Structure 1
């Protein structure tokens, strides 16, 4: 019985140590990858200066993964964005013939990114087709385990990657976030359909570094004609509800990562080591006991 118990303890100990090793060294490679079943809707609110009039606006961006086109290393995304005047209980988006003339802009985009570092892949046409618009840099999230450094971030209006510079570290409802700032200064761009002009922007991204998720985004955009006449300016950021939802989701994701990357290895190593030690000690104790019994039997036989 003691031998059997010792074998069981050693087996369980080895099993737990292996689980700890896998959780520490193998799980991160599997967990720290963008899922292939994302359906994310973000909401921003603010104001816009349009035609000399200040109006409340809301911005909705829907980003969905295309699992059929994605691979183990690359994820394909479809995005639709809409900016509308926040009037008369307007829906997230309206058509160009909206009776209230509430549509400011609407666009769609398709891109492919690396599932770990978040960067747009160089051979996007392989996943999106020959007519796809090439993207460069980060597009919709930061990499896992983001660093305090400058990252290239895709700006669709400019049609190029712009530096997103690390600014500071802040606390957002108990979550440490890195703040990055993207600055564009009077860049030539298409400011409206068929109209070229100048585009300026100051955008802050509040990023949870372990997952690379954006928990808040603050935008300040100005579009003018080439001679500097104002056409459109927008100031907006994540709605309060969007921030609360993003923070809650981040807390949940971080808890899962901590469980699998910290607590499972720790418990595996400690519990496994205790089981191994107990099994080895029990084996040695059983062996000494057996040797003692054997010596006693031999002594009795010699006396007889």
Structure 2
């Protein structure tokens, strides 16, 4: 006897099987490809605090003044697409109340321009695309995806080297929980600067190639676990001048015990981290789970209709056959 299958049962079964196949593909193929560093970024983060800085107009260090660090990160989309890497241009300025807003970069107390190039999946530095300076480490503007409870090598641009940041528990920022990493930088020579001798305690010399020294009272970062985005940051930079070969700080160029993301920056970073989390959770958890559950239900319904339809077909044909064999037709 030939079984007949209804179109509905075949549609339900086919759709269910498709969804069951799709679910693991979303987890294994689609979600990992969504975990890539964006290239079309344009963000501004602002640190504020109080401290000391060298006032070039007064030719002396002033203390207890408000300080602001402004960092703007812009993705170079064209170079990123061409290279397949994340190419970000980073502008960082340090300002006092007198230099805000800075009409030009030379108005700031300090200003740097960097180009940061990384692998979009691993966050590892990539040396191409006119990268400057040559970076190292595992993290700088962000951490890798799926942050772990371990130490990371953090790139400190002022130091020109990496700093070990240790995992230091969890912390909530504006209600968003992240991993906390801490570290510090011991005094290290970072360069030289030509200055009047009297500035570094050598009045008998008109010009001296003074040594620049940098340290950091403390680095504290709170990082979103899934995306590696930094939702809060606090640093304590200190830059001084020393006479050649001296171990004594002669001039304080910049010193703050703690400069931290402003509340507005924290809120913006948390909102971005939350949005990225929703996207990754949707692709990696919600949609695959929904596809698996719906696929199971549809496949089961389709199979049930297919079996029921086959049984119904056999019963109908058997009944009709028995009617024909029951005896001769009544006489008319």
TM-score normalised per structure 2: 0.82
* 2:187 corresponds to: 186
Deviation at 1:214, TM superposition (A): 0.4
CA contact (8 A) 1:58 1:92 kept: no
CA contact (8 A) 2:22 2:288 kept: yes
Q: Which residues of 2 match residues 232-271 of structure 1 at below 5 A?
A: 232-234=254-256, 235-271=258-294
Deviation at 1:270, TM superposition (A): 0.6
* 1:291 corresponds to: 314
Deviation at 1:93, TM superposition (A): 5.9
| 1:60 pairs with 2:75 | no
Provide, for residues 156-189 of structure 1, a one-character-per-residue CA deviation record: whole Å limited to 9, x for no partner: 1111111121111112233220111131101111
For these two proteins, the number of residue pairs brought into alignment is 293
* 2:118 corresponds to: 113
How big is the alpha-carbon RMSD for the aligned residues of Structure 1 and Structure 2?
Answer: 2.2
| 1:216 pairs with 2:232 | yes
Distance 1:187 1:289, change over 3 A: same
| 1:277 pairs with 2:300 | yes
| 1:20 pairs with 2:20 | no
Distance 1:142 1:93, change over 3 A: farther
Distance of 2:29 and 2:142 partners within structure 1: 23
Distance of 1:86 and 1:127 partners within structure 2: 36
> What residue ranges of structure 1 are gaps of 5+ in the alignment?
none
> What residue ranges of structure 2 are gaps of 5+ in the alignment?
54-60, 195-208, 328-332
* 2:163 corresponds to: 162
Distance of 2:84 and 2:279 partners within structure 1: 22
Q: Which residues of 2 match residues 1-150 of structure 1 at below 5 A?
A: 3-50=6-53, 51-71=61-81, 73-87=84-98, 90-91=100-101, 94-96=104-106, 98=107, 103-121=108-126, 124=127, 126-128=128-130, 132-137=132-137, 138-150=139-151
Distance of 2:13 and 2:47 partners within structure 1: 56
1:229 to 250, 265, 269: 250
| 1:172 pairs with 2:173 | yes
Distance 1:57 1:94, change over 3 A: farther
Provide, for residues 12-47 of structure 1, a one-character-per-residue CA deviation record: whole Å limited to 9, x for no partner: 212322332232222222211011211121111111
Higher-Rg structure is: 2
